[in-house]
Structure 1
Amino acid sequence: MLAILFVLLLGAACLYRLRWRRTGNLVVAAAAVLFFGVGCGAVPRMLIRSLQSPYDVEPAIAWAPRNAIVLLGAGTVVAGDEPLQPSYFADGRVLRAAQLYNACKATGRECHLFVSGGDSQDHGEAESVVYGRALRKLGIPEADMSFETRSMTTWQNAQFSRPLLASYAPQHMVLVTSGIHLRRSLLYFAHFGIEPQPVAGDWLNARREWIPDSWNYLLADAAMHEYLGILRYRVYNALGWNAPKAARLGS
């Protein structure tokens, strides 16, 4: 969003230099509206609502005899000389995946956690492995977890998770990621024939402020990242640049 504002102001400066003052004034006014609309919360609130609102906070899950819970990565953090830790935006996902696993096991059904995420930040260890340590501390046994360690993007999360899920052959699948990330994740997973039940590990809210707040700019950028990812998918599909769609898993 800050880049867009910079381009608008740069464009206005060029218009003033060309003596197109009226058009320049309109561009400056548009930049001001965007600056306050984003910073005061109206724009990110609108963007986030359509990404998160389709999904229930506590969805009812009909556990089958054999279940798979897929957890998507959200980065890691270097904590001095200590082992890598899940990032701020990953903790909710990890906790939610553990809660779902325990809920599934409480019904007496078979349940397996598939953790997907490579070392996209070049921290020296795959996200999924880092999350695995956290999940073990939450009581998830090693035997009930599998780790996909190659993916660097959400697209690859779906692509590289498919063979693991196909091998396990679950009767029901659940996908855990951030609420803002569910729409794009489900689109990519469906492309590879995976149609899981979505569950949000965290939710985001914009702040209503009179003075522009940096948090709202962060949320707007995160939302725009999701929309651009969806747009890119559709454009690549139209141009034939995506991998061929896979058959529905289990069909």
Structure 2
Amino acid sequence: MFFFPVSKVFWLIAEPVTVLVLVAGVGVALAFTRWARTGRRLSALAILGLLLILFTPVGVALLRPLENRFPPPPADLPAPTGIIVLGGGLEEAKSEARGQTILSEDGIRLIAALQLARRYPTARLIFTGGAGNFLEQAPAEAIGVRKFWLDLGGPAGRMTFEARSRNTWENALFTRDLVKPQPGETWLLVTSAWHMPRAMGIFRRRGFQVTAYPVAYRTYGDDRDWLPVSASDRISTLDLAIREWIGLLAYRLTHKTNALFPAP
């Protein structure tokens, strides 16, 4: 009951840069007290942490194992029963405010799903995603995705939408209940590569066997990942990686997955 709001509020203060800035602030405040030495140490620790984030590829080093965990299925994969697309590709609140479709950095999930639906003309196309933003009111993401797919010529007769889920655990639960998978069926799971280990672990925990179809890679997977990039890129990459590793740990500790780092 409390997992969803706690998970959303936690990350507002747990982002690495936010934590380091808070630590630095505490250190500066302590510098004017009898604990000045402790304050200097905290400030120095925070500065070292910020330097590590801004000038080393630590974020990429943490993100690449997530993205490489589940490889894409072979090109000659037999036609699946259906294609399940997890929410997170559409900025629903911004889309409503601006009156047009605004995709997130993971919007390729929605494009890849349409490509798969055209490759497999008999497969069902399932989107699962409600309103997952805890702080702002927004319509269910499924509403915007339905319009987006129809505008792009999506197969209306094969599309089904689940609009109640707020996180990956609920994606798996409500989608399983919606499609009622049968033994011998093949279901593709489309989500971002960095999110795939946790998603696969959750679907397995729910007894829903799916085949990973990772998309929306943030890393190259080769030596280019270690080239210099902007500070903002390093921060966003680290935030994403830390968030997902914490998510894997939290879902394991709450028995929402059977493994800390689910594998193929």
Task: Find the aligned partners of 1:39 and 1:230 in 2 and give their Cα distance.
Answer: 25
User: What is residue 116 of structure 1 aligned with on the other side?
Assistant: 128
User: Residue 233 in 1 paired to residue 247 in 2?
Assistant: no
TM-aligned CA distance change 1:127 to 1:170, over 3 Å: farther
TM-aligned CA distance change 1:243 to 1:88, over 3 Å: closer
User: What is residue 8 of structure 1 aligned with on the other side?
Assistant: 23
User: What is residue 164 of structure 1 aligned with on the other side?
Assistant: 178
TM-aligned CA distance change 1:28 to 1:124, over 3 Å: closer
User: Residue 219 in 1 paired to residue 237 in 2?
Assistant: yes
Which among 191, 197, 217 is matched to residue 211 of structure 2? 197
Matches for 1:13-32 after TM superposition, within 5 Å? 13=28, 16=31, 17-19=33-35, 21=37, 26-32=41-47
Q: Give ranges in structure 1 of 5+ residues lacking alignment.
A: 245-251
User: What is residue 53 of structure 1 aligned with on the other side?
Assistant: 68
8 Å CA contact retained: 1:86, 1:130: no
Task: Find the aligned partners of 1:168 and 1:128 in 2 and give their Cα distance.
Answer: 24
Give the Å deviation of 1:243.
Answer: 10
Q: Give ranges in structure 2 of 5+ residues lacking alignment.
A: 1-15, 220-224, 259-264
TM-aligned CA distance change 1:83 to 1:112, over 3 Å: farther
Identify which range, 46-55 or 143-152, moves more after superposition: 46-55
Q: How many residue pairs are counted as aligned between the two chains?
A: 233
Identity %: 24
8 Å CA contact retained: 1:116, 1:128: yes
Give the Å deviation of 1:170.
Answer: 7.0
Which residue identity does 2:103 align to in structure 1?
S
TM-aligned CA distance change 1:168 to 1:57, over 3 Å: closer
Task: Find the aligned partners of 2:84 and 2:42 in 1 and give their Cα distance.
Answer: 46
Give the Å deviation of 1:95.
Answer: 0.8
User: What is residue 3 of structure 2 aligned with on the other side?
Assistant: none
User: What is residue 261 of structure 2 aligned with on the other side?
Assistant: none
8 Å CA contact retained: 2:73, 2:212: no
Give the Å deviation of 1:90.
Answer: 3.8
Which residue identity does 1:70 align to in structure 2?
I
Query: TM-score, structure 2 length as denominator?
Result: 0.76
Query: TM-score, structure 1 length as denominator?
Result: 0.79
Which residue identity does 1:34 align to in structure 2?
G
